[in-house]
Structure 1
Amino acid sequence: MKHIYAVTGMTCNGCKSSVEDKLNAIDGVLNATVALEKAQVTIEMSHHISIDVLQKALSDKYTISEKHTPASSSVDEVQASSDMTAGKKSELKQLFPLFLIFGYITIASVLLNYRPWHGASFMLDFMGLFYIVFSFFKLLDLKGFPESFKMYDPLAKVMPIYSWVYPFIELALGILFLMRIQIPIALVVTLVILGITTIGVIKILLNKKTIQCACLGTALKLPMTKATFIENSIMIVMAIIMLVKTYN
C-alpha cells in the first residue's frame, strides 16, 4: 500500500532526513521517501496508518496532509471533500500571522499620517515598517532563512551569499524609507529585489508546489500561496507610484 502526502515546513536536506527517519520509525511503515522540491513524501505501509499517527511522529515544525490516494484504495468522496475543506482552513490559519502583521503595519502607517493626511508619506512609512518588521523575523533564524529563501528566489539559487545578506538589505531599506534618506535609490532597489523574488513566487504557484514561504523567516511556518504574491505586488506598486511622483 503506497500513499503520497504533502509535507510543509521542510527547508533543507536536514529536514528531509529528519522527516524520513521519523516516519520510517513508525510501526507499519515499510519505506518513507521525501521529495524535498515537491514538498511531499511517499510512504509504503503494510497497513493503513492515519494522518494523526504520522503527524505525531513528526516535530511541530512539519505538517503532513493527504495529497494523493491510489486508485486501488477505496476512498470516500465525501471524506475527501471534507479533508480538502479542512486543508483550506488550515492554510488560512497558517497565514493569519501574515495578515495580522500587515494589519498592524497598515494601522501604524495611517496613524502616522492621518492628520493631516499625506498619501506619499503613508506609503513610505508603510514600506519602511514592512522592511523593518520582515527583516526582524528573518534575523531570528539567520541560519535557517537562507535555506528556505533559495528554494524559490532565482538570485539566491545561483548566489547563495545573497540569501545571507538579504535580511540586512531589507533592514537598510526600512531605515532609508523611515528616515527619508536616498528614497529614489531605495525605491529602485525595492523594484529589483522584490521583482526577482516575485518571479520565483509565480513559478512556484504555477507549478503548484507546496513549500515554505520565507517572507517572515522560519520562525513562522507560512505556506507559499497567492498571499505571498499579493504581498510583493503591493510593495512593487507602491514603489512604482513613488518613483513616478519623484520624477514628475
Structure 2
Amino acid sequence: MKHTYTITGMTCNNCKASVEKYLSEIDHVLEVSVNLEIGEVEVKMDKHISTEILQKALPKKYSISEKKEKNVFTSSSMAAMPMEEEKSKLQQLKPLLLIIFYIATASLLLHYKDWSWSAFMLDFMGLFYIVFSFFKMLDLKGFPESFSMYDPLAKRIPFYGKIYPFIETALGLMFLMRVEVHIALMITLVVLGITSIGVTKTLLDKKAIRCACLGTALKLPMTEATFIENAIMIVMAILMLIGMN
C-alpha cells in the first residue's frame, strides 16, 4: 500500500535526502519518494505504519501529516503495474546508461589506431571517475546524505561521504595521467568493494531508494545496474593488478 503525506521543514535537496534516509530505515517501509517542490512524500509499505511512528523517525525540524492513501494492490492496477514500473525504471536509468556508453566509446576512440586493452581500461576507469565525480560535485551538501543510505562506511563515518567526490576525482586523474596506477587500483577495490556491499544489501532487502552514483541532480533508482557498474570497475581493477604483477 502507498500513503501520501504532507511534510514541512524541507528547504533543499539535503533535506530531501535526509527525509528519505530516515523514513527508509523504518521497518516495513519499502520505498520513499519525496517531492521537494510540493512538500509531499509518498511512502510504500507492506504493513500499516502510523503517522506518529513516521514523525518520531524524523528530526524535529520536519513535520509530517497524512494526506491520502491509495492501495496499489487493487485488481484494476495489478495487470498494468509491472509494465509501468519497468518502463519507468528504464527511463530513469537512461542517463546512467548513456553516460557509460559515451565513456566506453571515448575510451575506444582514444586507442582504435594503436589498440591496448590495458590503456583502454585505464582511460575507461579514469573517465568514469571524472564524469561521475562531476555530477556529485553539483550538490556536495545533498550527496553525503544520499550516499549514506546504502554505503556502509559513509553511514558510520559521515565525513567519508563528504570527501568521496574528491576521492573519485583524484582517482580519475591518477588513471588518466598514469600516476601511481597500482595504488589507484588498490583504492578502487576498497572503495567500490565497500559500496558494492551496501548496494547488494539494499537490493536483497528490496529497498527502493535513490542511487547517488550520479549525485542528487539526477533521480536514479537503486537497481542491479548500480551493482553491475561497480562490478565492471572492480573486475577491471583486478585484471590490471594481475597484469602488472
Superposed pair shares fold, TM > 0.5:
yes
1:137 paired to 2:132: no
In structure 2, the residue matched to 1:36 is: 24
Alpha-carbon distance in structure 2 between the residues aligned to 1:91 and 1:162? 29
C-alpha spacing 1:214/1:231, structure 2 compared with 1 (3 Å): same
Cα displacement string for residues 190-229 of structure 1 (whole angstroms, at most 9, x for unaligned residues): 0000000000000000000011100000000001110000
Task: Map 1:90-105 onto structure 2 (within 5 A).
Answer: 90-105=88-103
The runs of 5 or more residues in structure 1 that have no matched partner are 20-33, 42-53
Q: 1:206 to 1:75 in 2, by over 3 A?
A: closer
| Cα distance in 2 for residues equivalent to 1:96 and 1:166 | 24
2:242 to 234, 241, 244: 244
Q: Distance in 2 between matches of 1:120 and 1:215?
A: 25
Amino acid at match of 2:176: L
* Matched residue, 1:218: 216
* Shift in alpha-carbon separation, 1:81–1:65, aligned structure 2, 3 A: farther
2:30 and 2:206 in contact (8 A); partners too: no
Which residue in the other structure is 2:15 paired with? Answer: 14
Percent identity over the alignment? 55
Q: What whole-Å deviation, never above 9, does each CA across 1:213-247 have from its counterpart, x for those lacking one?
A: 00000000001110000000000000000000001
> Who is 1:59 aligned against?
37
Counterpart selection for 1:109 from 104, 107, 110: 107
Code of the aligned partner of 2:37:
S
Root-mean-square deviation (CA), in Å?
Answer: 3.2
CA distance in 1, matches of 2:232, 2:72: 45
Shift in CA distance, 232/18, structure 1 to aligned 2, threshold 3 Å:
closer
Judge conservation of contact 2:30–2:46 (CA < 8 Å) in 1: no
Normalised by the size of structure 2, how large is the TM-score? 0.77
Report if the CA contact (8 A) 2:14-2:142 is conserved: no
Cα deviation for residue 116 of structure 1 reads 1.5
Secondary structure of the 2:79 match is helix
How many residue pairs match? The answer is 214
- What's the CA shift string for 1:8-48, capped at 9, x where partnerless? xx9988338989xxxxxxxxxxxxxx83334646xxxxxxx
Secondary structure of 1:142 counterpart = coil
CA contact (8 A) 2:31 2:207 kept: no
Query: What secondary structure sits across from 1:116 in the alignment?
Result: coil
